[in-house]
Structure formats: C-alpha cells, structure tokens
Chain A
Amino acid sequence: MRMPRVIVLLAALLAAGLFAASADEDGLRRIIAKFADAKDFKATEAVARELAETGDPAVERVLLALADGNLFVRKGDGAVFVGKETGASVTLSDPLTGEKAGEAAKAEITKVKVNNGLRRLIRDLLGGLTLGSADPLTRGVAADTMFRTPDAANIEALDAAIARETVASVKARLEQARAASILVSDGSDEEKVVAIAVVEARGDRDALSLLTAVAARTEGAVREAAENAIAQVNGRLALWAAGQNVWYGISLGSVLLLAAIGLAITFGVMGVINMAHGEMVMLGAYTTYVVQSIIRTSFPGLFDWSLAFALPLAFLVAAAVGLAIERGIIRFLYGRPLETLLATWGVSLILQQSVRTLFGPTNREVGNPSWMSGGFDLGQMALTWNRFWIVLFALGVFAVLLYVMKRTPWGLQMRAVTANRRMAASMGIRTPWVDALTFALGSGIAGIAGVALSQIDNVSPNLGQGYIIDSFMVVVFGGVGNLWGTLVGAMSLGVLNKFLEPYAGAVLGKILVLVLIILFIQKRPRGLFALKGRAVEA
C-alpha cells in the first residue's frame, strides 16, 4: 500500500535539504497536465500518487486544491489551474506557483472530480509530505493524520521528525503517532506495551479506536495491556461525557430561554396567551435572511458582521409587528383568554402563510459567520462555536431584560400595571401605552431570538411552530410572571432533556419530560417560582 512511499518521500525531502528549491518544475508540470486526461477517479488517483511520489513540497498546493474540488481543466487547451469560484466566473491561478492566471467563465472549464476515497488518499499523502513543514501547526496535523492511519513504514520518518522537533506539544503528538505505528508493526511485545502506554496517555476517542483495534488483533501481554488501557481511557472519557452532557443541556436550555423569554413578558407579565409568539421568532430569522442576502450581493466583505446588523433590525421588525397586533387585536380582548388564544393563533397562521407567499415554501439559507462555524475542544469535550455564542447571547439578553424590568422607570411602570392596573392608572400611568410597549418589547425579544435560532435551525415558515409549545412549557414550569423562573426553568428542562436522551432516545425523552412537567404542575400549579401577594389573585 502507501507505506514505502512515505519513506521514499521523506528520504527525498531530507536529501533535498528539506524543501530547497524543487528539483524539476517541468517534470511536475508534466504530471499535473495528466489531470486533464484523467477520465475517472482511478486515473485521477494515479496522477495524485505520482505527484506525491516526487516528494516535492510544491505539490501541496495542487493536491490541496484537488481535495477541495478547486482544480480545473480549461476546455480549450487542456491546461490545469487552481481556481476560486467568484459568482459566475472562476479566478484561475497557476497550480505550482499560485500566480494569477486570469479568469474564466464556468462553462469554459471543467472541474477535476474527486470522491471520498481520493480526499482520504490526498490527506494521507499530505500527512507524509507536511511532516517537515516549517509551521508547527501543520506538523501537528500531519502527526495526527499519521496517528489515525498508523503504518509501520512511518516509524523511521517519525523518528527523524521527533529528533529535530523543537515544539514540545508537537513532539508529544509525533511520539503518539510513532507509538501508533509501532502497534501495527511487527515489533516486539515489550515495545508495543510501551507504545500502548503512550497512546493511553493521549486518552481521546482516536486513541480508544486504535486500542480497540489492537486488543482485537493481538494476544498475551500486549492484549492485556491494551485492554487495561481501554478501561482507563473509557473511565476518563465517561467523566468527560458527563461534562459534555451538562454542556449540551445548558446549550439546549439557552435555546429554550431565548424562545421563551419574550413570552415570559407577554404571557408571564401581561397574561396574554400569544400563539403568534413563534411567528415573531420566525420574522426575526427571516430578517436575518434578508440582511444576509443584501450583504451577500452588495457588501460581501461585511458578512461576518451580518448578525450585528440583523439584531437591531429583527428587534424593530418583530416589535413593530407586535405593536400592530396589540393595537389592532389584543387590546380589545384583555381579560378574555380564550378569544385572545384563537385570535393570536389566527394571526400566526396569517403570518406563516404571508411569509410562505413572499419568500416561498422552501428553507432559506442563512449562513454562519466564520466566528460561529466549527468548534473547539475543551479537554475531551467538543464544543461548537455557534452553541457557545448562543449560550452567552441568551444570558446577555436575559441580563439586559432583567435590568430593564427592575431598574428603569419603564420597567417599574410595567410591573405596576401588571400588579394593579387601576391603581397604576390612577397614579397617572398611561396603561394602554404601557401594554402596547410591553407587548412590543416581548415581540422584539422574540425577534432577536430568531436571529440566534437562524444559526442552528431552518429558516422556514414553520420555524416558530417548533418553539411555541416549548416556550409555554418553560414559562409555566418556571413560574408565570417571573424572569428568574424562566431562566431556571429553561436550564433545568434543557439539562433534564439531555440526560434522559441517551437512555430513552430523543422521542421518548421528550415525552418523559412532558410527563414530569404534568406531575410537577399538579404539585405546584404556579411553577417553580410562584409570585406571591395579592397581584397573583388579580
């Protein structure tokens, strides 16, 4: 298989004094030109192998481009270029030097096709090629690739790399890769037992995967050592998994909090059963979509800032619609919960169908800004950036709202009207306006929740429907009229859900949570944090 090649490669690299000028640029170009004639994956694979066998680090650019689907052949003359798609045309550059080579329309060029097998091959080939890269990050990635695809033939190359490695963390990874390679070699049992200890110290899923494979394959002392190591790694991972579950729970809780917190104001504080609350969330998400489309077409450079523009706009759009609903419908229905429920539900259907007519029934694409894509590892926990920011955002929104309610004159008026409408009115508070603004605030908050949810869910006319029941559940569970109750309610439901899910499955888990809430409400009809005092009876 691949093994001897890596040695040849590295030997060649070392002999060439590590990445001195490439031996034979013309030779490389001749090989690259063969991509034009490669009619199927097998042929492309052969060319890629041939390129890697030259051992020239200059081929990294062309191989990476191939793996990413950015390698093109010009139909006119069969010349091969690295291309970058920009709208309807493709910017071409030289496959070796990276120099600009003009533009081409999409119809003038064809892409060199790749599949998973090719991408894997290229990754492995590059792993060997980049082991001596000047960038410690690249060397680390190369070491990890070699760890995942261990190969006895890599040992020498890794030994050489370890000897000259200066960065301690990269050195450790190289040693782990070497240990992995020893485990698949014909080395002695003692050697392998030592290697198992090195792999065990790594302690992640990849290590577990390797050790499981080793335990299944070997016998005697090695197998015993591998099995012990598996038990050790599993024990540690179980702890991490519990931590991970708590995080998932908090993350789900923060989504629930965002969806419910606007409702905590309109339903909790004002007592209006607003079935159109989910549609306010949807409007926020669609605002994000519109903002992003404008930015995409007119100011592509600002894409990472799109959410910053979307937030205030979503708040205004949803608040304006909320204000219109309150002034137009709800104010005539105060004190008639059943009619309010039906009317707002009708509004929700109208809003859904209008959005469907306006934007079409299909999902709209809302992109993640670069700082919300991907994830990072915290120990053995994988956290994703979008969830991470949403947790922070939800807590931020909560803090701001709490401040508005408790520390501003408007918040005071809101609470006064809720507590005793007639008394507040006789103190000179314009209660109809407080009602309208409170409803607008709740709707606006739902709108900014929509901006956040557009990052993790579909932007479709049905977006709101998925959240409305959950939102009511959180508010009722947490205690009507109490923001802290909403926070605690959302977080505990999130964590509970995530701890039930691995055992009961997603479907049964949700049912169990509902049953538990029903039982809880039987015991404490006013939720976790019940409001006390005469206001409650009003």
Chain B
Amino acid sequence: MRGMNWGMTNFVAAGLMAAGLSLSVPAHAADDTIKVGVLHSLSGTMAISETTLKDTMLFLIDEQNKKGGLLGKKLEAVVVDPASDWPLFAEKARQLIAVDKVAAVFGCWTSVSRKSVLPVFEELNSLLFYPVQYEGEESQRNVFYTGAAPNQQAIPAVDYLMENEGVERWVLAGTDYVYPQTTNKILQAYLESKGVAKEDILVNYTPFGHSDWQTIVTDIKNFGSAGKKTAVVSTINGDANVPFYKELANQGIKAEDIPVVAFSVGEEELAGLDTGPLVGHLTAWNYFQSIDTPENAEFIAKWKEYTKNPNRVTNDPMEAHVIGFNMWVKAVEKAGTTDPDAVIDAIIGVSVPNLTGGYSTMMPNHHITKPVFIGEIQADGQMETVWQTSGLVVGDEWSDYLPDSKDLIADWRAPMSCGNFNVVTGKCGGKGTN
C-alpha cells in the first residue's frame, strides 16, 4: 500500500524536479573550490534519517574550510534532494558528477538507493562514500563502504546474546527488502553452523511502515515460551520501529525475558519514542553518542554548536561520514589531486581516528575496520555500552556463511583489482556483476 503511494509521490517529485526546483547550490568561482556532492533525501519517507547526514556533511565541510580547505582550495558542498525516490538517486548522482563536476559524493541510505546509483558511478568514474550499515555481498571499485558489513554488526550481536544471555531460540524479524533479507539469510546460516536447530529459528517479514504489530508480538511471545531462552534480532527499518516497541512494551515483554537486539535503531530513531519501557533492549553499532572519549566529546560539542541545538543527538552513520570524509581528505592530500583514479589508489591503507578512541583503516576491499559495541537502551534514549570487541573488526564484504559467496574476496589493489575474486577457481568474476 505504501508502495503505491510512493510511486505517486515519486511521479510528482520528479515533475517538480524537472520544473527546475532542484536544490543544488549554484556554482561560482569554480576554479578555487573543490566541490563535494551530498546525495541524501531531504523529503519523503527516508528524510527522517538522511536529513541529519546532510547536516553532518555541511558541518564537516565547514570545519575543513576553517582548517584552510583542501589542497589550498575551499571546499564547496553541492546538496541535492533525491526525495526518497530510488530512480531519482541515479539521476541526481549523474547531475552531481556530470553537471556540477563534484570530486566525490557522500550519500545514500537504503541499499536500493545505493544499487540504483552504482552504474552511474561506474560509468562516470567518480567516488561514492556510503555511510550506512548494510547487507554486504558487494564491493565496487568506485564505492567506499564506511558503514558496517554484517560481520561488524549482526554476527557480533548474535555472539553476544549466545554467550552472555544464553539465548537458544531466535526470532529474526525484519522489514521486507534487501538488507533484512540478506542479513537474515547470513544469520540463519551462521546460527545453523553454531548448532541451532531449524525449528528454533522463526523468520518474519513485515512491510515498510507496518503499524499493527499485535499478532507478531504475540507470536514472539508464544515462540518464547518453549522453555528455552529466546531473543529477537530485529532488522526492522525506519518508522515501523516505534509501533513495534510500543506494542512490545504494552504486551509486557521485558528485556530481561525476551531481549530485542536491533540493527537499525539508533539515538535518532529513539528520539521519537518514550524509552522508559524499552530499557534493557539492545542495539549493536560501531558508535554510540554515550561513548566516553575526548574525540567524541569534542565532536558532540562542536556539532551541537554548529546546529545551534543542545538536544541534537549523534549516531553511527554520522560517525561513518566523519571517518569517510577524513579518509577522503587524507587520500586527496596524499595523491595531491582529486582525480578519482589517483584517490582510489591512494586511499587504501589510509588510517584516520574514529570517534571511539581508535583508528579506522580503509582496507583493499573498500570496507573499513571498526570496533563493535553492544548497548542497552536507557531511559533517556541513549545507549549504555555493555560489551565491545577487544579490537577492530575488518569489514567482510562477501559473507563466509553463504554458500555462493564464501569463496569470494575483493581486492582493489593492482594487479588483482577485482571486487569478486573467486579463490577456488582463481578467476575474477563470481556472483554479482561487479
């Protein structure tokens, strides 16, 4: 039902865009500036999450300019609004690269929007920094994945529940699209490899924006009363989380009995929710606002000052943009040019401090190293870290737990330069088209 609406919204949105209502900042004095594209939805259903990332990019560019810019030039943001419309993402990306001649693009949130712009970046040979946790199974020459791959979020979270909470029965609940489905496929294979029986796993999908959770929450409750400790692994995305958590709270499911670990719920999403009844439910991320490091404290203070809002929260995809942007800056300085080919070669191995007290490095598979944190939701909407990995985890683009991707690796250094090298056949080109 939502789908239909979107279709119509998109149609009108496209019409408005065609009518010349594009939001791009006019370009002037092109010679002394380096342009950076920001491709995040500012309207439509994803605006809830993506608007903050646009603000983050403007903030980072502002900070960099205060430090004297890049290669002696000022940075200039070119902001476009793809309006939560997947095909429009591709159009806007093309406009950024071909018309505005940006040096790099920071953007996208949903996997479907990323898939939609991939061919454009390949064709026009530009750079995309993608800041959101995603399902993996991809590595593209022009894309840098600064969010978590499944092994940097989902699998550590499941390990935590198994070891620390003794969970034996699993509900995998997700929204019906590519990220939850692929993640759940990986998790199912992983759990089965750990000896969890098939009947102890319940997989459930719901549409985008689902609001009536009564039946599903009852199902979870019933599934959890089989005499074994049960947990819910939630890849429910966006708006649907609020009614889901409300129903959990109202039906009296407490975190002590059936904990829910969520991969798409951060500080930003909890801002619209009375978190009192949710205390103790878990989230898994690579960053929490509550993490107590000097870098983080400084970042939060500057961010609040920049947005002039003392209540603004920070979240994981924001940190991913911070890391990605700093890596790009460092790579451009190293290469001495913004030329995409030179930057692609220079950025591998670049290390920048993250906000949680360590360094993140760009690996040859275009994924980065990250620590993993498990947090419990607190009454004030913040997360309290209850567990963290001892070191950094390298993002694994091709899951080791899926039969058709376990033999694949990606390495974009010469001479291999391949996103899907099959180590068994010794040839580039396995699953997928990259």
Contacts and interface: CB of A to CB of B under 8 A. Distances in A.
Say if A and B assemble together: yes
B252 A367 contact: no
Interface string B32-58: 000000000011110110010000000
A367 B274 contact: yes
A117 B5 CA distance: 44
A469 B272 contact: no
Contact of A458 (B221, B259, B272): B272
Interface in A199-247: 205-206, 208-213, 216, 241, 244-245
Given A123-B256, A466-B1, A502-B219, A209 B227 contact: yes
Nearest to B165: A116
A208 to B, nearest CB: 6
A72 interface: no
Given A345-B8, A459-B272, A244 B218 contact: yes
B243 A69 contact: no
Contact of A506 (B12, B43, B207, B271): B207
A403 interface: no
Contacts of B386: 41, 115
Contact of B216 (A41, A386, A506): A506
Interface string B256-288: 100100000000110111100101100000000
A37 interface: no
Given A209-B226, A361-B51, A505-B204, A384 B256 contact: no
Contacts of B225: 205-206, 208-209
A251 B209 CA distance: 18
Task: Say what secondary structure dominates the interface of chain A.
Answer: helix
Contact of A374 (B2, B164, B250): B250
Interface in B205-224: 205-207, 209-212, 214-216, 218-219, 221-222
B19 interface: no
B290 to A, nearest CB: 11
Contact of A353 (B43, B218, B384): B43
Interface residues of A, number: 65
Nearest to A506: B206
B4 interface: yes
B82 to A, nearest CB: 14
Kindly state the interface size class of chain B when it binds its partner: 35 or more
Nearest to A373: B250
B28 to A, nearest CB: 27
B274 A466 contact: no
Interface in A346-381: 346, 349, 353, 356, 360-365, 367-368, 373-375
Contacts of A252: 212, 214
B45 A462 contact: yes
A45 interface: no
A74 to B, nearest CB: 19
Question: 5 smallest A-B Cβ distances: which pairs?
Answer: A363-B272, A213-B227, A205-B225, A384-B250, A361-B47
23 contacts: A115-B384, A205-B222, A210-B227, A212-B226, A212-B227, A245-B215, A345-B12, A353-B43, A360-B51, A362-B51, A365-B274, A373-B277, A374-B249, A374-B252, A375-B251, A384-B214, A385-B250, A387-B250, A462-B239, A469-B4, A498-B215, A506-B206, A506-B207
